Structure 1
C-alpha cells in the first residue's frame, strides 16, 4: 500500500470514525395529552406521552403529581390505541382543581432511559406546582450509578474487542505467521505454547469480564431506568422487569454466549486444539501444526458471532430506518474495531512470550511475519470503519456545526483526535518499522532498537484504544444532533432567584409554541414575583433579530407564546428577561435548534 493511499484511507477514517460503537440516539417526545401548559375546565381521564419511536414502558413509566407532590395516577401503564410509540396512565377520579405535573421515564430504542414532563391545570391553577426537574431529580439513581453504567459499557466493549479480535488473530494472523516462520527446531513448539498460554489467558479474562459486564448491565439498567438505587434494582421484581425488555433479553443472550465461548476455549486449551505447533509424529523430524477441532471452532464462532451482534441489536441500528443499511453497517463497524483492538492486544501482551523462547534471529522473523499480516488486516479494518462510520455519520450527525455546539459533537471530536494519533502510529509502523524489520530479517539480525520502538508504539496504541472505547461508552449518554434537534425542545436554566423551564414545540421553521415556567429556586413553588416577563429571538449566524415575542401570562409563573416565529432552520438564541420591580430585572438565555 502506497503512502498516498494510506493517507487517503486515514483521512476518510478521521471524517467518519467519530461514531461510537453502536451509537445511540434517543426517543424524542412529539406530543402530550393533555397539551403542555393547558388549563382545562374538566379533568381528563388519562395522561399520555407520544414519541417518535417505540419505547419500553416499565418501571412506573408515567407518574402524575398534584401540587403537594402526591401521586394521583393509577397503577397500570398502558398503550393508548395499542401504539408502541406511546405510554399513558389513568388518573384518579374526582381530582380537585389545581396544577398537576406529569413525568415520564421510558426506555428508548437504544436501551437508554429518556425522561421529561410537563405541567397542566384543572380549573383554577394552584399557587404552587411541582417542578418537573425536581421530581425527576428525586427519582434519579444518581451519579454513582450512571458512572458505574458507563464503566460497565466500557468493559463490555473492551471484552468484545479482545475476545472477538483475539480469536480472529489466532487463526488469521498467528497461525499462518507461525507456519511461515518456523523451522524444524523443536524450540518453536515452546514458543507456540507460550504464545497460546498468554493469548488464552487474555481471551479467557475477556470472556469473564464480558460475562460479568453483561449480567451487571441488567440491574444497572433497572436502576437507571427506574431512578432507584442499584441495590433496589437487584430485587427480583425489578430484575424481572428489565429482563422482559429487549435490552435485558439481549444482555442475557450475550452472557450465555460468553459462557459458551469460555467453555469452548477451556476445552480447546486443555486438548491443545488451538493454532500452534507440536513435535512431528514418530519417524519424522521437526515440528508440525496442531490439529484444530472443526467442532470446537464452529461452536466458538457461533458464540462470538452472537456476541458481536448484540451491540447493534441493542441500539438504534435495529429499529431506525433504514435498518437494512444501519444494521449491517453497525455489525461491520464492531467487527472492524475488534480486529484492530484485539490484534493490538495480542501483539503487545502475548507475542513477547513467544519471542523470548526463540533465538534472536528467529524473533525477528516471527515478529515480521505477525506484523506484516496484521498490518494488512488493520488497514482493511480502518477502511471498513471509514465506510461504515460515514454511513452512520450521515444519518446521525446531520450537520457539521453539531460537532461544535452539542455535547455529542464535542465528545465525537475527542474521539477523532485520539483516532488520528492511533492511525498515525499505524502508518509509522507500516511505513518505517516493518521495512526495517524486513531488512533485519534478511540479514538474520536481532530486532534491536527497532523492536524497542515497536513495543513503545504498540503500548501507546493499546493505551489510546482503551481511552477511545471509554469515549465510545460515554457517547451513548448523548443523543446525536439529528435526533436531539427533531421534535419539541425543552430544558432548564436559572434566571435570578428563579428556575426557568422552557419548551419550544415543534422546534421547526414557522410558528411554534413557546412555554416558559418559573419556579422558586428555594422551595420549588411557582414564582409569582415577576411583574413582567419578555422574550426575544435571535439567529446570530444569519444576523436575524432580536425579534420580540408576544408572551401572554397563562397562569401563576407560566407564560406562553402560541405563535413564536422562527424563520429559518438554524440554531436560535432565546433571551428571557424577568422584571421584578421598576429597577430590578434578571436575564437568561438558551439555545433552540430549529430544523
Structure 2
C-alpha cells in the first residue's frame, strides 16, 4: 500500500511539473504572438511608408534640376540641411538609356559634412543626364533622389531611375529595430522587477528566463540592424549583408558605433544580472566584518552599475536617431532617453508581472488565498511614476517632431502619433483600474495578502489588456523611429490668389477686377502639380490664348526653370510636371497672353518644404 501511494505521489508530482511547463510554454507563446503582431505592424509600415524614410533633405544642387547648360559641368555638388554619410554609390551619373557613366569618387566639399561632390567626365555629349544620389542622414536613415540636367539641348529619358533595389532590406531592418525595442524593455523593466520589486523573483526560474530572452532579443535585433545597415545605405540586395566592406563602412558611422557600443553594454548588463540573481554564498571561514563589507558592496555596486548601464543603453538609441537632429537637441536627447527608459521599465515589468505573478496566481485553486504582496503595490508605484515621465516627455517630443496641428493629420508620422496616443490613453484607463484595485485592497484588513478569486480574475484581465496594448505602443514606437518627423515632412498645399494687373483689364474687359488663383500640391521638392485659374468678374473663369511659366529663386543665383503649362478647361490651366529642385522660397512667374498682341506677367510667391 505504501509503495502504491508513493508511486501515486511521484506520478502526481510529475503531472504537476508537466502542467507547470505547459503553462509556462503557453504564456511564452502568448507573448510571442503579441510580439509577432507588433512585427507585422512594422512590416506593413516598412512596406507602405518606406518613401517617408528621408529625414535629411536636399537644399540645393549644382547643376539645378532641369537646367540646360551650354557646356558640360566639371562636377556635381549637393548641399543638404544636415551632415550626411557618403558611400560608394552616393552619387551616380546616368545617360538617357539608364547606363551608368564613370565619374569621380564621392567626397565632401571643403570638409563640409553636409555638402557632397563628385567630378564629372570631360566631353559629355549633348543631351540629358540623370544624377542619382543616395546618402545616409545623421539620424541613420537613408535619403535618396535623382534630378536631371541637359547639355546643349534636352533629350527624353528612356528608363526611370530606381533607387531602392531590394524591398526586403527595409523590412528586415524594421524587424531588427522592433526586436531591439522589445529586448530593451524585457532587460531593463524585467530585470528591475525580478531583482527589486519581487522578492521571490531572484529564485524564480520563469522570471529569469523572460529576462534572459530579453537579452537574446536585444542582441539579435542589434546585430540585424548592424548587418542590414550596409545594404540599406548602399541600395544593394540583402545577399550583400555580410560584405566586409559594407560592415566596415557601417562601423565608421555614428549608428554603427552606437550599435557596437550597445552590444558591449548588453554583455556587461548580462553579467551584472547573472551576478544579481546568483544565490549568495558565505564561506565558513569568513568573519562577520568581512561578510558585512561584502554584503554592503553587493547592495551598492550592482545597482549603481545597473543604473549606469541602463542610461548608457538608452543613449545608444537617442544619440543616433531623431533626438540628435533638428531643434533643441540639448533637451531632446535627455527627454527621449527618459521617455524610452520609462516605457521600458513599465512594459518589461508588466510582462514579468503578468507572466509570473498575476496570471499564475489565477491558475491556482479558487478557494486558496493568493498573495500578491509586495510585488503588485511596488509595480503599481513604478507604473505611476513611469506614466508621469512618459506623459511629460511625450508632450514635448510630440511638439518638437510635429510642430503644427495640420501636420498631425497631414503626415504619416502625425497619424501614427495619434494612434499611439489613443493606445496610451487606453493603457492609462486600465492602469487606473489596477491602481484603484491596489488602493482598495490596501485598505482591507488583510490587505492584498488574500485576494478573492473574482477580484483576481478582473485583475488578470486588466493586466493582460495592458500587456497587449503595451506591445502595440512598442510597435508603433518602432515604426515612428523609422518615419520622417512631421515637422520635416509636412508640406501644406499652396493656395494663393494674386490680382491681375490693371493693364490686363484695359485690354480685356472680362478681366476687370479679376485675379489669378494658383494651387500647388504637395509644395515640396520634387514633382508638383500646379493648378492655375484665371478668374474674371464675379469669379467666373476666363479663357486666355496661352500661359507660359517659369520658376524663379529670389535668393539664389540660378537661371529661371521653365514650367510647361497646358489648358485643362476654359480658364483652368495645369502644370503637371513642375519640378522644385530644393525647398525654400520660390516665385512662380506666369506670362499670360491675353490677346494676340498683349501679354501680362504675374508673379506668385510660395514656400516649398
Matched, 1:216 2:233: no
Matched, 1:240 2:241: no
Residue in 2 that maps onto 1:377: 382
1:294-316 deviations in whole A, cap 9, x for unaligned? 44444444333321211111113
SS at match of 2:139: coil
| TM-score under structure 2 length normalisation | 0.70
- 1:101-120 equivalent positions in 2, closer than 5 A: 101-120=130-149
Does the C-alpha gap of structure 1 residues 192 and 80 become closer, same or farther in structure 2, counting only changes over 3 Å?
closer
Does the C-alpha gap of structure 1 residues 384 and 72 become closer, same or farther in structure 2, counting only changes over 3 Å?
same
1:235-293 deviations in whole A, cap 9, x for unaligned? 111111111111111111111211222233234434449xxxxxxx99xxxxxx99945
Larger Rg: 2
Deviation, 1:393, is 1.7
**What runs of 5+ residues in structure 1 fail to find an aligned partner?**
1-22, 179-190, 274-280, 283-288, 490-503, 517-533, 539-543, 554-559, 566-574
- 1:516-535 equivalent positions in 2, closer than 5 A: 535=530
Deviation, 1:167, is 2.5
**What runs of 5+ residues in structure 2 fail to find an aligned partner?**
1-51, 282-286, 289-294, 495-519, 534-538, 555-562, 581-605
Matched, 1:225 2:260: no
Residue in 1 that maps onto 2:411: 406
Residue in 1 that maps onto 2:516: none
In the alignment, the residues of structure 2 paired with residue 562 and residue 551 of structure 1 have an alpha-carbon distance, to the nearest angstrom, of 17
1:25-78 deviations in whole A, cap 9, x for unaligned? 811211111111100111111112111111111241111111121222425111
Q: Does the aligned pair in 2 maintain the 1:66–1:99 contact within 8 Å?
A: yes
In structure 2, which of residues 326, 330, 334 is the aligned counterpart of residue 328 of structure 1?
A: 334
Matched, 1:157 2:173: no
1:203-254 deviations in whole A, cap 9, x for unaligned? 1110111111111101221222211122212111111111111111111111
Deviation, 1:537, is 5.3
SS at match of 1:117: strand
Does the C-alpha gap of structure 1 residues 56 and 586 become closer, same or farther in structure 2, counting only changes over 3 Å?
same
| TM-score under structure 1 length normalisation | 0.71
Residue in 1 that maps onto 2:105: 76
Deviation, 1:348, is 0.5
Does the C-alpha gap of structure 1 residues 480 and 353 become closer, same or farther in structure 2, counting only changes over 3 Å?
closer
In structure 1, which of residues 466, 469, 474 is the aligned counterpart of residue 474 of structure 2?
A: 469
Residue in 1 that maps onto 2:308: 302
In the alignment, the residues of structure 2 paired with residue 104 and residue 468 of structure 1 have an alpha-carbon distance, to the nearest angstrom, of 35
- 1:17-416 equivalent positions in 2, closer than 5 A: 26-128=55-157, 130-131=159-160, 134-136=161-163, 139-142=164-167, 144-174=168-198, 178=199, 191-192=200-201, 194-195=203-204, 197-272=205-280, 292=298, 294-352=300-358, 364=370, 366-416=371-421
Deviation, 1:329, is 0.6
Residue in 1 that maps onto 2:499: none
Does the C-alpha gap of structure 1 residues 547 and 391 become closer, same or farther in structure 2, counting only changes over 3 Å?
farther
Number of equivalent positions: 481
In structure 2, which of residues 551, 554, 561 is the aligned counterpart of residue 562 of structure 1?
A: 551
In the alignment, the residues of structure 1 paired with residue 248 and residue 176 of structure 2 have an alpha-carbon distance, to the nearest angstrom, of 20
Higher relative contact order (CA 8 A, sep 6+): 1
SS at match of 1:74: coil
Moved more, 293-302 or 380-389: 293-302
SS at match of 1:76: coil
SS at match of 2:99: coil
In the alignment, the residues of structure 2 paired with residue 576 and residue 563 of structure 1 have an alpha-carbon distance, to the nearest angstrom, of 14
Does the C-alpha gap of structure 1 residues 547 and 375 become closer, same or farther in structure 2, counting only changes over 3 Å?
farther
Residue in 2 that maps onto 1:536: 531
1:138-165 deviations in whole A, cap 9, x for unaligned? x4321x2222211211111111111111
Residue in 2 that maps onto 1:570: none
Moved more, 155-164 or 434-443: 434-443
In the alignment, the residues of structure 2 paired with residue 551 and residue 49 of structure 1 have an alpha-carbon distance, to the nearest angstrom, of 36
Q: Does the aligned pair in 1 maintain the 2:441–2:447 contact within 8 Å?
A: no
In the alignment, the residues of structure 2 paired with residue 587 and residue 552 of structure 1 have an alpha-carbon distance, to the nearest angstrom, of 10
